[in-house]
């Protein structure tokens, strides 16, 4: 627990002191060190500050400061140590015990986009987070736990960011996490092949006075380029140890963890706090602002006053709001304004630019002493490739070719394992049908669970192949080029190339794609990008596409599949243009996006990403899709009409009797024909009964009630119910169809596919295409709607749900009527 949670009169033993360097040092000097017994004596009249007794004297701390001290109760500590005696003797025992017991280290990963931060995090923790070679992949903190050499590590992967200013949600999130969560060690992941830009973030960590270790990731690229780097000397200059790593291969990870332990324990000889010199004039401004901040203990309890002073002088909006949140502090704001005006009048420039220039000057000076660039242009390979793939004439066709190949291989190669899984599902259903007694339980398992879930799980190979290609294009850096290629087109619809990244991510899943719009600085750009993102065909729609495309457009499968994705993109562009004209008039932000060097991803990282998405798909099978299949089966099974059952049983008996009373025929051929005729009549009667039961069921009544909505599109009530259930999750469209379209289960050769069942129910290529188009365009799933509500508001979620469904109906009606004229 935290010291701030200790009740009056209670005692506890200190186990850890957190916070930035100077603040933590001040607490240590006051006696708050690990193993010491502290007692809450009394509270001030307004419950803050609190008086504590420690080492024989009383000291007062504000609750906000006490929250950075972790403790265990005296009873728990005595139980752990197995000792009770005088306070002095107990403290010695406690101190000895906590020196030898397992320790917990909280490590926060920070770094620029494309520095390999998440790759290193994955390798270190065994986590399976997605790694993308462009900005904005990590949109929230991801946490993992593991043990290493007697220490429990809690590692948190924070969003990739270039600085700790407040221009983007990622920057604000990272800064606030470091300030409020006070990690024991900040692990700054740096791209060793791009030191000057990456070390800018390191200078801000120096200003924050945090314990830090720098991972020189992708160090193999630096050595291959022929450059030389004395990283140990630079580490001593800036007070942060540097460890070379190759995150994708796990090289240097153990050494990095050992260095984190050394820094945590205070044993590292490299660690020291330095001040970056910003010049006499700026330094005098920092001193003036710090003088005022030192009077505001609440403000500097969890952040370095020097860092806070720099942010105030730079005019950081978030920090300005922070210092005035609970009080106006006119004197502090007067000093900030006075110093800012003085500096800008002296240098005729913004303070932010002066500080940025000074930081890069500091970095440049440090690198001149320790780093020697290779005469070989290390980006030559990247430039050669870019000359082709981003060419003004060839770039767009190459991008379309990559997409077409992705869908072609997804459909053709994935078709083989898909067929194997489908046969396995059918065999399982047949085995259960022959071994279980007839009844509702058998129907539930065969028709509900196996029919519903099995109808969707067959598309797992296609999902894996699709994510394999998407992962490869992301990790190599090609996705950033796709944004660059699409920049001109995106500008025409009022956005910029950066907005294309969430759209491409939408091919995988709309949920992370919408979350990734946080990389867009302008709120209107974010809202507009989110409004059109659902038109990107997520992987959940792929089972529906493959089912109908494979059944009705087999000869042109890849082309039709590619066309569906392109229709989604075209509709998104048109709607964005309309929204920009009527809803969002503000000019878009300029397109600024890094084009990272091409890197060949390791098979491990690509396979981790692919399998991670496959696992999510399988979890859906055992979760929402199974529950939905059971629910749909139940709605289709009940109410049980016993009178109807008796009526059809009498009809079956009549057929049996009519053939039993026929004279015996000696000709085996004629006898076989009569038997086949009888079985055909019985099967036809079974289909008729199943149709009648479905129409009489709860789901049939719902479907029939809503059928007038679907009839103008050429769709029957079963298709309408399937679309309706797809709002929960798009995969459920297929499982619903698998449950509902079971009227003609058997043919002579065995069980037939769902696609063939649809043909038997009157589906034509035109109706199949209308159905596909509706699934492409109508309301996104509940998960996506919830994320939209969280990101931009509930009203926008309802708007997306409404306008996409109306648009889907209108376009499908138009296609049905226009194409129908020519058929």
Q: Report the range of poorest mean pLDDT among 462-476, 617-631, 689-703.
A: 617-631
Residue 653 pLDDT exceeds 50: yes
pLDDT at residue 747, as a whole number: 34
pLDDT digits 0-9 by tens, 157-179: 988 888 887 667 778 888 888 98
Two tokens at 391?
């060419």
Residue 809 pLDDT exceeds 70: yes
Arithmetic mean of pLDDT, 33-61: 81
pLDDT at residue 375, as a whole number: 57
Do residues 235 and 270 lie in contact, with contact meaning Cβ atoms separated by under 8 Å?
A: yes
Arithmetic mean of pLDDT, 179-183: 87
Bigger pLDDT: 154 vs 21 = 154
Residue 217 pLDDT exceeds 90: yes
C-alpha span between 200 and 788 (Å, rounded): 34
Residue 84 pLDDT exceeds 60: no
Confidence of residue 654 (pLDDT cuts 50, 70, 90): confident
Number of CB atoms found within 10 A of residue 559's CB: 15
pLDDT at residue 66, as a whole number: 83
Residue 257 pLDDT exceeds 90: yes
Helices (H), ranges, 493-641: 500-505, 510-515, 523-532, 542-552, 557-582, 603-620, 626-637
Q: Select, from the ranges 251-255, 450-454, 557-561, 679-683, the one with the highest average predicted confidence (pLDDT).
A: 251-255
Arithmetic mean of pLDDT, 62-66: 81
pLDDT at residue 815, as a whole number: 94
Bigger pLDDT: 806 vs 2 = 806
Q: How many residues does the chain have?
A: 823
Q: Report the range of poorest mean pLDDT among 170-184, 392-406, 461-475, 539-553.
A: 461-475
pLDDT at residue 613, as a whole number: 64
Two tokens at 5?
């949670």
Confidence of residue 240 (pLDDT cuts 50, 70, 90): very high
Arithmetic mean of pLDDT, 705-721: 90
pLDDT at residue 235, as a whole number: 92
pLDDT at residue 573, as a whole number: 87
Q: Report the range of poorest mean pLDDT among 53-67, 137-151, 397-411, 526-540.
A: 137-151
Q: Report the range of poorest mean pLDDT among 16-30, 547-561, 794-808.
A: 16-30
With residues binned 3-state (H G I as helix, E B as strand, rest as coil), the percentages for the chain, rounded to 5, are 65, 10, 25
Arithmetic mean of pLDDT, 87-92: 62
pTM (2 d.p.): 0.61
Do residues 429 and 454 lie in contact, with contact meaning Cβ atoms separated by under 8 Å?
A: yes
C-alpha span between 757 and 18 (Å, rounded): 65
Backbone phi, psi, residue 535, to 5°: -75, -10
Two tokens at 799?
């708007």
Two tokens at 800?
């997306």
Residue 110 pLDDT exceeds 50: yes
| Chain-centre distance for alpha carbon 443 | 38
Do residues 242 and 189 lie in contact, with contact meaning Cβ atoms separated by under 8 Å?
A: no
Region label for 494, one of left (φ > 0), alpha (ψ between -120 and 50) or beta (otherwise): left
Two tokens at 257?
């963890």
Arithmetic mean of pLDDT, 696-702: 83
Q: How large a percentage of the chain has pLDDT more than 90?
A: 19
Arithmetic mean of pLDDT, 599-603: 74
pLDDT at residue 423, as a whole number: 85
Confidence of residue 743 (pLDDT cuts 50, 70, 90): very low
Bigger pLDDT: 687 vs 710 = 710
Residue 802 pLDDT exceeds 90: yes
Residue 192 pLDDT exceeds 80: yes
Arithmetic mean of pLDDT, 542-548: 88
pLDDT at residue 749, as a whole number: 35
Confidence of residue 85 (pLDDT cuts 50, 70, 90): low
Strand 142-148 versus strand 151-157 pairing type: antiparallel
Confidence of residue 776 (pLDDT cuts 50, 70, 90): very high
Confidence of residue 29 (pLDDT cuts 50, 70, 90): confident
Q: Which of 451, 472, 470, 464 is CA-nearest to residue 417?
A: 464
Number of CB atoms found within 10 A of residue 321's CB: 10
Two tokens at 610?
């692919």
Residue 181 pLDDT exceeds 60: yes
Backbone phi, psi, residue 229, to 5°: -145, 120
Bigger pLDDT: 557 vs 768 = 768
Q: How large a percentage of the chain has pLDDT more than 70?
A: 86
Residue 673 pLDDT exceeds 90: no
Handedness of CA 78, 81, 84, 87 (dihedral sign): negative
pLDDT at residue 679, as a whole number: 83
Arithmetic mean of pLDDT, 390-407: 82
pLDDT at residue 114, as a whole number: 81
Whether residue 639 is preceded by a cis peptide bond, meaning omega within 30 degrees of 0, is yes
pLDDT at residue 134, as a whole number: 40
pLDDT at residue 746, as a whole number: 40
Arithmetic mean of pLDDT, 319-338: 85
Bigger pLDDT: 385 vs 78 = 385
CA dihedral (103, 108, 114, 115) in degrees, to 10, reads -50
pLDDT at residue 102, as a whole number: 53
* Average pLDDT of the chain, as a whole number: 81
C-alpha pair distances (Å), 67 with each of 51, 72, 91: 14, 13, 21
Residue 509 pLDDT exceeds 60: yes
Bigger pLDDT: 811 vs 126 = 811
Reduced to 3 states (helix: H, G, I; strand: E, B; else coil), residue 228 is: strand
DSSP state of 232: H
pLDDT digits 0-9 by tens, 582-595: 887 655 544 445 56
Residue 484 pLDDT exceeds 60: yes
């Amino acid at each position: 627990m935290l010291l701030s949670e200790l009740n009056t009169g209670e005692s506890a033993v200190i186990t850890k002191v957190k916070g930035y360097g100077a603040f933590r040092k001040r607490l240590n000097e006051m006696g708050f060190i690990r193993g010491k017994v502290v007692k809450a004596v009394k509270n001030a009249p307004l419950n803050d500050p609190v008086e504590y007794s420690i080492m024989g004297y009383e000291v007062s701390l504000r609750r906000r400061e006490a929250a950075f001290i972790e403790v265990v109760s005296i009873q728990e500590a005595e139980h752990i140590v197995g000792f009770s005696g005088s306070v002095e003797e107990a403290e010695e025992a406690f101190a000895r015990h906590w020196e030898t017991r397992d320790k917990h280290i909280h490590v926060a990963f920070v770094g620029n986009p494309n520095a390999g931060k998440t790759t290193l995090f994955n390798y270190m923790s065994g986590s399976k987070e997605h790694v993308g070679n462009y900005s904005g992949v990590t949109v929230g903190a991801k946490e993992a736990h593991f043990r290493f050499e007697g220490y429990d590590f809690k590692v948190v992967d924070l969003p990739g960011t270039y600085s700790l200013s407040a221009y983007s949600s990622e920057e604000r999130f990272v800064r606030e996490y470091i300030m409020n969560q006070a990690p024991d060690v900040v692990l700054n992941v740096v791209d060793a092949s791009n030191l000057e830009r990456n070390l800018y973030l390191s200078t801000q960590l120096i200003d924050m006075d945090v314990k830090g270790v720098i991972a020189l990731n992708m160090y193999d690229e630096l050595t291959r380029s022929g450059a030389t780097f004395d990283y140990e000397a630079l580490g001593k200059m800036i007070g942060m140890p540097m460890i070379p790593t190759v995150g994708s291969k796990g090289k240097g990870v153990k050494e990095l963890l050992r260095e984190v332990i050394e820094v945590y324990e205070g044993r590292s000889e490299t660690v020291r706090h330095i001040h970056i010199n910003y010049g006499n004039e700026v330094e005098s401004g920092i001193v003036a602002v710090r003088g005022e901040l030192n009077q505001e203990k609440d403000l500097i309890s969890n952040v370095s006053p020097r860092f806070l002073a720099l942010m105030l002088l730079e005019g950081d909006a978030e920090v300005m709001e922070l210092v005035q949140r609970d009080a106006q502090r006119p004197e502090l704001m007067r000093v900030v304004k006075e110093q800012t005006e003085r500096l800008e009048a002296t240098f005729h420039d913004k303070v932010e630019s002066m500080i940025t220039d000074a930081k890069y000057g500091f970095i440049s000076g440090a690198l001149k002493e320790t780093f020697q660039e290779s005469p070989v242009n290390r980006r030559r390979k990247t430039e050669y490739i870019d000359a082709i793939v981003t060419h003004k004439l060839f770039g767009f066709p190459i991008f379309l070719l990559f997409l077409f190949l992705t869908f072609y291989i997804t459909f053709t190669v994935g078709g083989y394992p898909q067929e194997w899984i489908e046969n396995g599902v059918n065999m399982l259903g047949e085995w259960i049908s022959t071994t279980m007694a007839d009844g509702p339980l058998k129907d539930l398992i065969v028709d509900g669970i196996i029919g519903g879930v099995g109808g969707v799980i067959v598309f797992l190979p296609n999902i894996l192949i699709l994510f394999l290609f998407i992962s490869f294009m992301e990790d190599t850096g090609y996705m950033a080029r796709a944004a660059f290629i699409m920049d001109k087109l995106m500008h025409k619809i009022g956005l910029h190339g950066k907005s294309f990244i969430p759209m491409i991510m939408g091919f995988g899943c709309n949920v992370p794609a919408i979350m990734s719009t946080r990389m867009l600085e302008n709120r209107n750009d974010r809202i507009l990008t989110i409004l059109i993102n659902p038109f990107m065909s997520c992987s959940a729609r792929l089972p529906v596409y493959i089912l109908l495309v494979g059944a009705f457009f087999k000869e042109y499968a890849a082309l039709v599949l590619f066309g569906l994705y392109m229709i989604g993109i075209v509709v998104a562009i048109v709607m964005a243009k309309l929204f920009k004209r009527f809803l969002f008039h503000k000019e878009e932000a300029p397109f600024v996006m890094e084009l990272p060097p091409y890197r060949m991803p390791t098979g491990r990282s690509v396979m981790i990403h692919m399998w991670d998405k496959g696992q999510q798909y399988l979890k859906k099978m055992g979760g929402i899709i199974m529950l939905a299949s059971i629910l749909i089966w139940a709605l289709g099974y009940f109410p049980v009409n016993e009178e109807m059952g008796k009526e059809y049983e009498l009809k079956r008996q009549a057929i049996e009797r009519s053939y039993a009373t026929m004279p015996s025929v000696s000709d085996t051929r004629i006898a076989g024909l009569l038997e086949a005729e009888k079985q055909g009549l019985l099967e036809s009667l079974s289909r008729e009964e199943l149709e009648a039961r479905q129409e009489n069921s709860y789901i049939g009544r719902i479907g029939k009630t809503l059928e007038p909505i679907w009839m103008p599109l050429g769709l029957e009530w079963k298709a309408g119910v399937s679309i309706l259930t797809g709002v929960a999750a798009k995969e459920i469209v297929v499982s619903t169809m698998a449950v509902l379209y079971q009227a003609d289960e058997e043919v002579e050769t065995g069980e037939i596919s769902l696609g063939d069942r649809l043909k038997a129910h009157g589906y034509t290529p035109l109706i199949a295409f209308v159905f596909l188009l509706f699934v492409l365009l109508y309301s996104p799933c509940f998960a996506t709607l919830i994320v939209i509500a969280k990101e931009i508001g509930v009203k926008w979620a309802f708007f997306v749900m409404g306008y996409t469904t109306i648009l889907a109906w209108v376009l499908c009606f138009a296609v049905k009527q226009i194409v129908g004229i020519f058929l």
